[in-house]
């Protein structure tokens, strides 16, 4: 159900321009998302409406086989110049491209004011996951494993895996659903574009110094390879509590070409000596401080600590 | 060289446009980004770990006493993209470190650039395409 015009094409063109300026890439390498025939020139009442409209436009979706899946192999990371902004086209700390609801704008204003006073805290410092959709704006390595019936979108940090079901199933029934770090994603293929809808998400923030979002958040994404070394995700974020209107963002990921590089499993606890000070700010424990966890002896000290407890 | 210069320039622009230091796992609010120190010392330990690596260096203060400094940098996958391997620094290596120190005066800070005695420079954040570089140092 179409509601109102939504000038998204210009956002895509701007993001492409930012990317091109940042990397010197030729525009010819990128499919211009400003194409007026792109269905993202319209906003819908809900993300599900948009997802269904895209599915109808794709005649129900393309049935994929192992031989027809696109090649997204390799390692990827956020395109240069993105910083820790959810929208790479954001120009300054105060100028989010989102339109937060009044209550969430107030939260954002406070967050930025606190930062300017030198106070900032991030849940990641407790080794909690980034969660989706912040997942999109994390600067670590990414890997995409595509199968006809299910795809895995993997971020290196905490091995956060988004599972996207393309076997025709629907979302988790409402009476069984509960908030998840990566949410519940179902999708279909439209040619070489992976279209997905995500719901059942935990609340969070789009990134540090970015707006917060509520558990009402849902998204529609369109992933596709736009050049040999660039993958793009066109994202529409809906959150009737946190956003005054849907937020359209183009995310880009560039190929990482470092020889021998692989994604390795790691634990955030293996060397995390970040603490939160009394003023709410981020601080470190340094070697010699009480409570400092030396990464060279962490495993031994933990196992030694378990022995006396076991004897009690 | 051309690519790295362009990357540095764009990182600098990103850093200016969105001031916070873009450490992925925690805020950089504890660092004084307007101040850069250059310290000489001896490597004690290179903790090549996640979510961040740390370089522990013994630095002599004005009285000649050894002070243990800790410099934080990125995790291994990012360091590898910058050509920094676990074997790049060994205990006993004489180095020079450029750092944005902690605001509270404790002996720690960011690892901006390490220069080894043979002139080799190790710049971890040169390879963080998705993150902003530290702000340019002040004139001091």
Dihedral angle of Cα A57, A63, A67, A70, to the nearest 10 degrees: 30
Is A135 part of a structural domain of the chain?
yes
pLDDT of residue A168: 97
**What's the token pair of residue A261?**
């590089």
Residue B26 has pLDDT above 60, yes or no: yes
Q: Give the domains, in start order, of chain B with CATH numbers.
A: 37-131 (2.40.50)
Q: How far apart are CA B58 and CA B45, in angstroms?
A: 9
Same domain as A272, residue A168: no
B18 in contact with chain A, both atoms CB, cutoff 8 A: yes
**What's the token pair of residue A96?**
């989010």
> Once rounded to an integer, what is the mean pLDDT over residues B25-49?
93
pLDDT digits (tens, 9 = 90+) for A128-150: 999 999 999 999 999 999 999 99
Same domain as A219, residue A279: no
Residue of B138 and A75 predicted with greater confidence: A75
- Which residue's entry shows tokens 């912040």? A134
Same domain as A163, residue A131: yes
Nearest to B26 among A140, A256, A274 (CB): A274
pLDDT of residue B8: 41
Same domain as A184, residue A88: yes
Q: How confident is the model at residue A34 (pLDDT cuts 50, 70, 90)?
A: very low
Same domain as A207, residue A144: yes
| H/E run at residue A252 | strand A247-256
Residue B126 has pLDDT above 80, yes or no: no
> Once rounded to an integer, what is the mean pLDDT over residues B65-76?
96
Q: Please say whether the beta carbons of B58 and B41 come within 8 A.
A: yes
Residue B49 has pLDDT above 90, yes or no: yes
Residue of A33 and A152 predicted with greater confidence: A152
Nearest to B130 among A24, A120, A139 (CB): A139
Q: How far apart are CA A275 and CA A285, in angstroms?
A: 7
Residue of A215 and B8 predicted with greater confidence: A215
Phi/psi of residue A66, nearest 5 degrees: -55, -35
Q: What is the least distance, in Å, from the CA of B20 to any CA of chain A?
A: 8
Is A151 part of a structural domain of the chain?
yes
Same domain as A46, residue A83: no
Residue A8 has pLDDT above 70, yes or no: no
> ipTM of this complex > 0.90?
no
pLDDT digits (tens, 9 = 90+) for A225-274: 999 999 999 999 999 999 999 999 999 999 999 999 999 999 999 999 99
Residue A15 has pLDDT above 80, yes or no: no
| Structural domain count, chain A | 3
Residue of B68 and A299 predicted with greater confidence: B68
Same domain as A12, residue A94: no
pLDDT of residue B27: 83
pLDDT digits (tens, 9 = 90+) for A76-93: 999 988 888 999 999 988
Same domain as A218, residue A203: yes
Domain range spanning residue A271? 267-299
| pTM more than 0.80 | yes
Q: Please say whether the beta carbons of A159 and A184 come within 8 A.
A: no
Same domain as A149, residue A127: yes
Query: What's the mean per-residue pLDDT of chain B?
Result: 81
Inter-chain CB proximity A80 and B27 less than 8 Å: no
**What's the token pair of residue B48?**
């090549």
């Amino acid at each position: 159900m179409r509601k109102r015009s939504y000038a998204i094409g210009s956002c895509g063109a701007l993001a492409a321009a930012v990317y091109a300026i940042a990397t010197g890439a030729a525009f010819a390498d990128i499919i211009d998302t400003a194409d007026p025939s792109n269905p993202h020139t319209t906003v819908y009442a809900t993300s599900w409406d948009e997802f269904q409209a895209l599915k109808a436009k794709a005649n129900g979706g393309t049935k994929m086989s192992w031989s027809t899946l696109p090649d997204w192999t390799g390692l990827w990371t956020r395109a240069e110049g993105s910083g820790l902004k959810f929208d790479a086209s954001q120009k300054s700390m105060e100028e989010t491209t989102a339109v937060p609801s009044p209550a969430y704008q107030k939260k954002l204003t406070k967050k930025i004011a606190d930062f300017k006073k030198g106070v900032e805290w991030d849940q990641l410092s407790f080794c909690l996951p980034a969660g989706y959709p912040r997942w999109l704006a994390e600067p670590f390595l990414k890997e995409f494993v595509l199968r006809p019936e299910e795809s895995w979108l993997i971020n290196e940090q905490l091995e956060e895996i988004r599972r996207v079901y393309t076997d025709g199933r629907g979302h988790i029934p409402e009476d069984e659903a509960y908030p998840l770090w990566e949410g519940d994603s179902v999708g279909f293929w439209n040619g070489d574009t992976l279209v997905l809808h995500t719901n059942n998400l935990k609340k969070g923030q789009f990134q540090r110094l970015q707006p917060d979002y509520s558990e009402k958040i849902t998204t529609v994404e369109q992933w596709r390879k736009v050049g040999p070394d660039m993958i793009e995700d066109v994202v529409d974020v809906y959150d009737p509590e946190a956003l005054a209107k849907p937020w359209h963002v183009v995310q880009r990921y560039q190929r990482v070409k470092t020889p021998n590089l692989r994604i390795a499993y790691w634990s955030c606890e293996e060397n995390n000596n970040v603490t939160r000070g009394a003023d709410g700010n981020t601080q470190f424990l340094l070697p010699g401080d009480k409570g400092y966890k030396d990464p060279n002896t962490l495993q031994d000290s933990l196992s030694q600590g378990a022995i006396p407890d076991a004897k009690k | 060289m051309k690519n790295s210069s362009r990357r540095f320039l764009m990182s600098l622009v990103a850093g200016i446009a969105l001031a916070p230091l873009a450490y992925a796992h925690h805020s950089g609010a504890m660092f004084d980004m307007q101040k850069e120190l250059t310290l000489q010392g001896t490597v004690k330990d290179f903790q090549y770990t996640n979510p961040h690596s740390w370089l522990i260096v013994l630095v002599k203060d004005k009285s000649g006493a050894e002070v243990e400094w800790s410099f934080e940098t990125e995790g291994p996958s990012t360091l590898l993209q910058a050509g920094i391997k676990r074997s790049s620094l060994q205990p006993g290596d004489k180095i020079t470190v450029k750092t944005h120190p902690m605001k509270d005066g404790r002996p720690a800070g960011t690892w901006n650039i390490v220069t080894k005695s043979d002139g080799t420079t190790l710049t971890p954040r040169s390879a963080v395409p998705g993150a902003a570089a530290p702000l340019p140092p002040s004139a001091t």
